[in-house]
Structure 1
Amino acid sequence: MYIKEMKQRQEAEEELSQQKKEKESLKQVILMLQNELDWYRYHSNENANALQEANQQKHLLEHHISEYNKVKRELDDAVKEARGMRMEKELTAPCAYGAMNSEFSLLELEQATQVFSSSLNIGRGGFGSVYKGFLRSTTVAIKILNTESLHAQSQFQQEVAILSRVRHPNLVTLIGACPEASALVYEFLPNGSLEDRLNCLDNTLPLTWQVRIRIIREVCSALIFLHKHKPHPVVHGDLKPGNILLDANLLSKVSDFGISHILLESSVTGSDAHFTSQPMGTPAYMDPEFFGTGELTPQSDTYSFGVTILRLLTGRAPLRLIRVVQGALDDDDLHSVLDHSAGEWPLGQAEQLARIGLQCSEISRQKRPDLQRNVWRVIDPMVKEAPAPLSQSFRSMFSESSRAVTTPSYFLCPISQVVMRDPQVAADGFTYEADALRRWLDSGHDTSPVTKKSLSNRDTIPNHALRSAIQEFLRQNKLQDLFAQG
């Protein structure tokens, strides 16, 4: 019995000892956990303080950045204003007039125009009137600005400032000015505006497609020159066929710089731009983004140039013209919208020009091509490769003599509709001007220009009989010299 009790007591003590050990071990765990909790609490407070301090530093830094940007904007505005004032001073300074060849008196202009006779008036618009005059032994064009216009004086100063500083073969030449009459004196360009010629005003002959491509090249050259002008680029702001004039040889010259602008670098965009809240120009040719932003950039001229290209291609009015040409290209039917009074356009070149015109007239400025890098490299070779058309004087002679001299229709090339120099019989049995037929075939055609049926081959045979008949016809009508010059 005793032994049994001792054994039970021993077991109870062992169990109690084990429980004490477990309790002690549990205390150690609790103490360790408490220490860890205290550590986390301490560092949590430390991190919270650090986070609060970091937020304070962030707000302070943001405040400094805001103050810096404010001061920078004020400085940029001050610099821009100073540059603008300096430029305005340069533009209105007397030296601006001195840069021109002459300053004319009102009396001289009155004598040159027979006191602004209506018989010498060659143009009229919201800007004022243009007169043909004879001044200091030179035939000139005299533009009298409308003094009632709110912008007359600024337009006068702007045009003098720009044209007295820039010279280019495809920019109209400013000969002089008359400040007292707000009048500008230019070289006289006898063939009027491109707009008039596209409309065949006064029964003038249509411009050939070769001349139209050359005009596109010349206007492109003038715009590149203006946009790259140093120290400040120039944006025209109102490019359109009505502001492109033609000299006696149909050389084109961009005119009317009254609303043009010398560009300063924008502190907002970092690019050359002019901002205005008063849109001026011709809506159908104006940059759509300009209406929304009031920002005039070289890309604004690019848009106007694109619409002008499409007008030269089609002869159509500018309204909805972009949509019409795009639709024709999508339907592979560009031929149907081309101006065939210009002759038979080489379809390959016509399509290139149509796509360039559409790219230039993209709604988004970012999508418009760079004139020098992307457009000039296409148009310049195109002009050099195009054969020269018959001289304008030769074509005019036939027009003016049509009542007295009837040109046989079979003397005219079916493609170009001009008298043939080198008539060649093609596989379809019809006779064509050699160059015109070659361009037709080289542009991808394998059909007859007349019958539209497939040609059995590309071979041609000189039509000596027809060539002799044409030469005899020209000789009898005393036109052979003009033909040789053409």
Structure 2
Amino acid sequence: MVFKFSTIYLTEDVDVSTLFSPPTSPSSSSTACLPLGKSFTRAIAVAGRAAGGAFTAPVNRASWWRPKKSSGDINLQPLRPQGLCAEKLEEELEKVKDQLDKVLEELRSARTQKSQQVGDRFTETNRSRKELELKMIEAAEMLRTFRQERELLQIGLDNALQKAEENFKQSLKIGEGGWGSVYRGFLRHTPVAIKIMKFPSMQGLQEFQREVNVLSKLRHPNLITLIGACPEPCTLVYEYSPNGSLEDWLRNSNRAKQLPWRARIRIATELCSVLAFLHSCKPHSIVHGDVKPGNILLDRHLVSKLSDFGICRLLPWGEQSSNNNTVVYPTDPKGTFGYMDPEFLVTRELTTKFDVYSFGIILLELLTRRPTLGIAKEVRRAVSAGTLEDILDPLAGEWPYMVAKELTDLALRCCEMSRRNRPDLQSDVWTVLQSIGASVDKPRLPNTHERYR
């Protein structure tokens, strides 16, 4: 068998079909070759160009060739022997294998470490869960114990109240009104004030429930403490205030002598503090609605305690009036005439400025001890005429004129007819009272403390 072998230049396009065409006639450019076997006829591929082509000879039973650039034509150079390539390939494979082994070892180590961490967390979670279960069991047991004790205390309180009511005497009565009577008694050897309420209508029952709801949730040094309540009959048990009410001290000349001007300033400051506390309660501001000397009790140290929350109101913060930013609550007029906000009587809109007006009237009473009705007009006339000293209460001692003048101006601002012009208790009134308190000596308590009978 004779094949025609042509010289191939890589810079030219090659027609592969001509390589397999049979020779037409022998020539000087052809070369006779011996047959190389059937595999040679199966695969011959030529590709590439001078810039970067590659010559590929038959894979089976053939040598490897690569193009090599030269100054002239590109000559085909034989590659290294196949044995050297195999050794190099084995070395590369060994390196790759080592790298894979290293990666696998790192993965195994990371998996082991992760498993250990998960196991530790699982153990910690189980321990925390068991501790939490134990705490929940203890809390449930404690709650059951507290409920049992509360029931026993309630039963004991009901029995004590019932026994106290049965033994009430007229000599123990310390107050009476349309809502009921107040008696002095003892609860577990502790003196208390027991208020037995009579309800001619559902309104009285609502006032009872409102007072219990408010006083049971609030704590303030100048707020009366509610010790207990009994629904049947409707009875409230308060801490006992042995010195009665501020009204008793202002209406009684003998007692008024024992209430000097320093103590009166302190009482006004305490009243401002508790009212500011009520107005700043969240989520509902609390308006007392009936601030007057009769509802300001005095303990054995003449510390004031605000009481009687039967007609108080909780103002929702979301409701705004149309003409200002003051929270309002539409309701019917309630309270004590003379201490009621005059604008409220017209608009029926209850605001925190209602209590500000009442505070101003009480402050004028502490200064002058004059009758409530018309007191603001009388004091304004005296200030305009320059005769303020003439209307100050002489039983309080010698008032420092500048202190009395500053307190009078503050009280008259609180008594403005329009609530817009009244100061804020927390930001304005409290600041003035604190400044006055710092400028005078510490209030001295009276030498004697009469018990309220």
Smaller-chain TM-score bracket? 0.5 to 0.7
Deviation at 1:154, TM superposition (A): 0.5
Does 2:247 align with 1:175? no
TM-score by length of 1: 0.58
Structure 2 partner of 1:266: 319
- Secondary structure of residue in 2 paired with 1:181: coil
Does 2:336 align with 1:292? no
1:121 and 1:214 map into 2 onto residues whose CA distance is 29
- Secondary structure of residue in 1 paired with 2:328: strand
Q: Is the contact between residue 262 and residue 444 of structure 2 (CA under 8 Å) also seen in structure 1?
A: no
1:286 and 1:260 map into 2 onto residues whose CA distance is 13
Which structure: larger Rg?
2
Map 1:214-253 to 2 at 5 A: 214-253=266-305
Does 2:403 align with 1:382? no
1:255 and 1:242 map into 2 onto residues whose CA distance is 9
Deviation at 1:222, TM superposition (A): 0.4
Deviation at 1:104, TM superposition (A): 6.7
Structure 2 partner of 1:417: none
Quick one: which amino acid aligns to residue 336 of structure 2?
Answer: T
Map 1:340-419 to 2 at 5 A: 340-388=394-442, 390-393=444-447
Structure 2 partner of 1:324: 378
Deviation at 1:318, TM superposition (A): 0.6
> Greater helix percent: which structure?
1
Quick one: which amino acid aligns to residue 240 of structure 1?
Answer: K
Q: Is the contact between residue 263 and residue 445 of structure 2 (CA under 8 Å) also seen in structure 1?
A: no
Q: 1:109–1:167: structure 2 CA closer, same or farther, 3 Å change rule?
A: same
Q: 1:356–1:187: structure 2 CA closer, same or farther, 3 Å change rule?
A: same
1:168 and 1:351 map into 2 onto residues whose CA distance is 30
1:350 and 1:102 map into 2 onto residues whose CA distance is 50
Map 1:87-486 to 2 at 5 A: 105-200=157-252, 205-264=257-316, 265-266=318-319, 268-269=321-322, 271-276=326-331, 278-388=332-442, 390-393=444-447
Quick one: which amino acid aligns to residue 377 of structure 1?
Answer: T
For residues 96-144 of structure 1, the C-alpha deviation after alignment (integer angstroms, 9 at most, x for no partner) is xx8xx96875542242355332111100112211110101221000111
Deviation at 1:295, TM superposition (A): 1.1
Q: 1:391–1:375: structure 2 CA closer, same or farther, 3 Å change rule?
A: closer
For residues 375-431 of structure 1, the C-alpha deviation after alignment (integer angstroms, 9 at most, x for no partner) is 1111012123322455422698xxxxxxxxxxxxxxxxxxxxxxxxxxxxxxxxxxx
For residues 350-373 of structure 1, the C-alpha deviation after alignment (integer angstroms, 9 at most, x for no partner) is 111111111001110000001111
1:152 and 1:389 map into 2 onto residues whose CA distance is 39
1:351 and 1:282 map into 2 onto residues whose CA distance is 27
TM-score by length of 2: 0.62
Q: Is the contact between residue 261 and residue 396 of structure 2 (CA under 8 Å) also seen in structure 1?
A: yes
Deviation at 1:247, TM superposition (A): 0.5
Q: Is the contact between residue 195 and residue 236 of structure 2 (CA under 8 Å) also seen in structure 1?
A: yes
Q: 1:305–1:109: structure 2 CA closer, same or farther, 3 Å change rule?
A: same
1:274 and 1:390 map into 2 onto residues whose CA distance is 41
Quick one: which amino acid aligns to residue 181 of structure 1?
Answer: P
Q: Is the contact between residue 415 and residue 422 of structure 2 (CA under 8 Å) also seen in structure 1?
A: yes
2:234 and 2:185 map into 1 onto residues whose CA distance is 16
Could you tell me the percent identity over the aligned residues?
A: 48
Pick 1 or 2: higher relative contact order, CA cutoff 8 A, min separation 6: 2
2:201 and 2:262 map into 1 onto residues whose CA distance is 40
Q: Mark the runs of 5 or more structure 2 residues left unpaired by the alignment.
A: 1-146
Deviation at 1:374, TM superposition (A): 1.2
Q: 1:360–1:390: structure 2 CA closer, same or farther, 3 Å change rule?
A: closer
Q: Is the contact between residue 123 and residue 129 of structure 1 (CA under 8 Å) also seen in structure 2?
A: yes
Q: Mark the runs of 5 or more structure 1 residues left unpaired by the alignment.
A: 1-94, 397-486
Q: Is the contact between residue 179 and residue 198 of structure 2 (CA under 8 Å) also seen in structure 1?
A: yes
Q: Is the contact between residue 272 and residue 430 of structure 2 (CA under 8 Å) also seen in structure 1?
A: yes
2:175 and 2:256 map into 1 onto residues whose CA distance is 17
1:368 and 1:168 map into 2 onto residues whose CA distance is 25
Q: How many residues are matched?
A: 297
- Secondary structure of residue in 2 paired with 1:176: strand
RMSD, aligned α-carbons: 2.2
For residues 56-103 of structure 1, the C-alpha deviation after alignment (integer angstroms, 9 at most, x for no partner) is xxxxxxxxxxxxxxxxxxxxxxxxxxxxxxxxxxxxxxx9xx8xx968
Quick one: which amino acid aligns to residue 197 of structure 1?
Answer: W
Q: Is the contact between residue 110 and residue 116 of structure 1 (CA under 8 Å) also seen in structure 2?
A: no
Quick one: which amino acid aligns to residue 315 of structure 1?
Answer: R
For residues 192-232 of structure 1, the C-alpha deviation after alignment (integer angstroms, 9 at most, x for no partner) is 00000111277574410000000000000001100001111
- Secondary structure of residue in 2 paired with 1:292: helix
Q: Is the contact between residue 197 and residue 234 of structure 2 (CA under 8 Å) also seen in structure 1?
A: yes
1:103 and 1:233 map into 2 onto residues whose CA distance is 34
For residues 282-324 of structure 1, the C-alpha deviation after alignment (integer angstroms, 9 at most, x for no partner) is 0100001111111111000000000010000001111110001
- Secondary structure of residue in 2 paired with 1:175: strand
Quick one: which amino acid aligns to residue 154 of structure 1?
Answer: Q
Q: Is the contact between residue 104 and residue 178 of structure 1 (CA under 8 Å) also seen in structure 2?
A: no
1:103 and 1:350 map into 2 onto residues whose CA distance is 52
- Secondary structure of residue in 2 paired with 1:198: helix
Deviation at 1:340, TM superposition (A): 0.7
Q: 1:326–1:261: structure 2 CA closer, same or farther, 3 Å change rule?
A: same
2:411 and 2:256 map into 1 onto residues whose CA distance is 26
Quick one: which amino acid aligns to residue 447 of structure 2?
Answer: S
- Secondary structure of residue in 2 paired with 1:272: coil
